[in-house]
Amino acid sequence: MTKNLAASRLSSFCRGLLAATTLAFCLAPAAAQTRKELGRMWTFEAAPLGWFQQAYDFTPTQQWLDHARLSSLRLGQRNDKGEISYFCSASFVSDLGLIMTNHHCARDSIVAVQGKEDWLKDGFYAAAYDNELKVPGLVVSQMISQRDVTKEVNETSAEAVKAKAEKEQPELSHQVIALYQGGNYQLYSFRIWDDLRLVCAPHGQSAHFGGDDDNFCYPRWGLDFTFLRAYVNDKPADTKATHFSWRTEGAKEGELVFVTGNPGRTGRLQTYAQCEYLRDHVYPGQLDRVHKMLADLNDKAKESPEKEKELRAQILRFENTRKAFQGYLDGLRNPRVMAIKQKAETELREAVAAKPELQEQYGDAWDKLAALQQEKAEAAGNRQKLMDLTKAEAEQQKRIGEACFAVYGTSIPPDATMSLRISDGLVKGYAMNGTRAPYFTTLYGLFARHQEFGGVHPFDLPKAWLDKEKQLDLKTPFNFVATCDIIGGNSGSPMIDKDQNVIGLVFDGNIEMLGNNYVFDDEVSRTVSVHPAIIIEALRKIYGAGRIADELEKKAAKKRGGRAG
């Protein structure tokens, strides 16, 4: 198939996109949140409309869900073999293919195009379309359709189902996703946007202000945004029908909000015995290795400024990994978390035992998994033995996933699989260190933090910010928190209100959120987002990027009486 023919077929396909996908996404919605400890990472095909109505007096229409899904993106990198690895989330935020994601998701891309410049440190802004730089290999995927293929996968294989889909719709990319540990399989089909160009990125120190000290913390002042643009036939993409609008003033405390993104991996369906094994045998060893690698990288970075520039992004990734692993381990060492896990497991086993057919099919899976954890502990250091045990473990995990799906169905969300989810929550502060954390921070706090730490790294503001202090509105909201359910992979997700206005850009969680990897609890865990007001303030007054601010706020459209462009 020629490139032009493929583009023509895809264009024809997309003209009927909204109407066609409405039919594809009509599964029975969940009536309520059955098991809170399993979180709120809902799939779009089984969005819990009953729960949304019960909890918030709001029921999204199918059109609402379709538009939110099509405006949400998954960010990845294509390698030399054509394979794509996905690692972050993103979204369309204008008529003309403008894409919003996190700076830390785009670090490697910035490095790839900066040449002898240091845009990772100094920031970048393209003043015109012609200056927007193509980023080799960077792609976003947009989920076009979905189909339950559980029966077909169990009768043939996931590979066979995917191959059939590729033959029938070669213009799309297809992925078979195992949900509920294999209790259910979905075929997701995507449009791939592969001509992405760098538009604007802030100073690295502004994006990562507070560095490793403030990572996974709140209150926070991270300007963690980057804008890209999708192009088609060397022109900005037409995304009039599939983008989120912009709400500069953001949301108020107590307001309903949603995160639409791609959480990477959670272990909420893992058993109590599996969690014990991770706590006692896996995370301690992983943390030790990460500490050693970080020490080695930091030593090498001290050799010269050039070496520090080369290793900067890698060091930041490993610092993030170290803190994440520590948070997961701390969660598993928390007696309250483990007690919730134990109670949930007991109640599921009792529900299985209450139905003889389920008990016969799945009843011994938990005991078998527990025995496998003991064997894994005893086989430490034997790579071959561990591989065999891991394969056996996967078989038992699938049985437990099937049992869980048989008992609860889609009233519970599946574990994260780096596929698109929607998570509901409220903008809300929380109790912290004997006081309360406010639901938002301001520019006042950013300059205060710089002064209170003497401007010493990682609390040093770039000179451009210090020079413009008097021109900035220091009351501008900076970061804020909400109770939405996220994990790694959600970085770059849009946070939207019920009218599908962007009211935040997800980039972090507080340290308490990391324990949600195995048991969800929103008492004090929070999602941390960049406020849209600080993005606009920075674009206009720090980076001279008024055209992007206008595009987001559609001010050019208002002046012309038409759309921004």
- Element of type H or E holding 478: strand 477-482
Q: What is the pLDDT of residues 199-231, one digit of tens each?
A: 999 999 999 999 999 999 999 999 999 999 999
Asked whether 253 and 437 are in contact (CB, 8 A), the reply is no
> What confidence score (pLDDT) does residue 32 get?
54
First-to-last alpha carbon distance for the chain, in angstroms, is: 32
Helices (H), 333-355: 335-353
What is the SS3 assignment for 489?
coil
The pLDDT of residue 559 is 42
Rounded to the nearest angstrom, the gap between the alpha carbon of residue 266 and the centroid of all alpha carbons in its chain is 12
Query: Quick one: fold of 422-509+523-560?
Result: Thrombin, subunit H (2.40.10)
For the chain, domain boundaries: 3-25+45-243, 272-411, 422-509+523-560
- pLDDT tens digit sequence for 60-91: 999 999 999 999 999 999 999 999 999 999 99
- Answer whether 329's CB lies under 8 Å from 283's CB: yes
pLDDT given at position 383? 83
Burial track 471-483 (b if 16+ CB lie within 10 A, e otherwise) = ebeeebbbbbbbb
- Give CA–CA dist 202/545, Å, rounded: 11
Q: Which regions in the chain score pLDDT beneath 70?
A: 1-33, 556-565
pLDDT at 34: 78
Residue 284, SS3?
Answer: helix
The pTM of this model reads 0.90
Whole-number pLDDT of residue 521: 92
What does the pLDDT look like over 372-428, one tens digit per residue? 999 999 988 788 898 999 999 999 999 999 999 999 999 999 999 999 999 999 999
Say if CB 87 and CB 481 are below 8 A apart.
no
Contacts of 154 (CB under 8 A, 6+ apart): 185
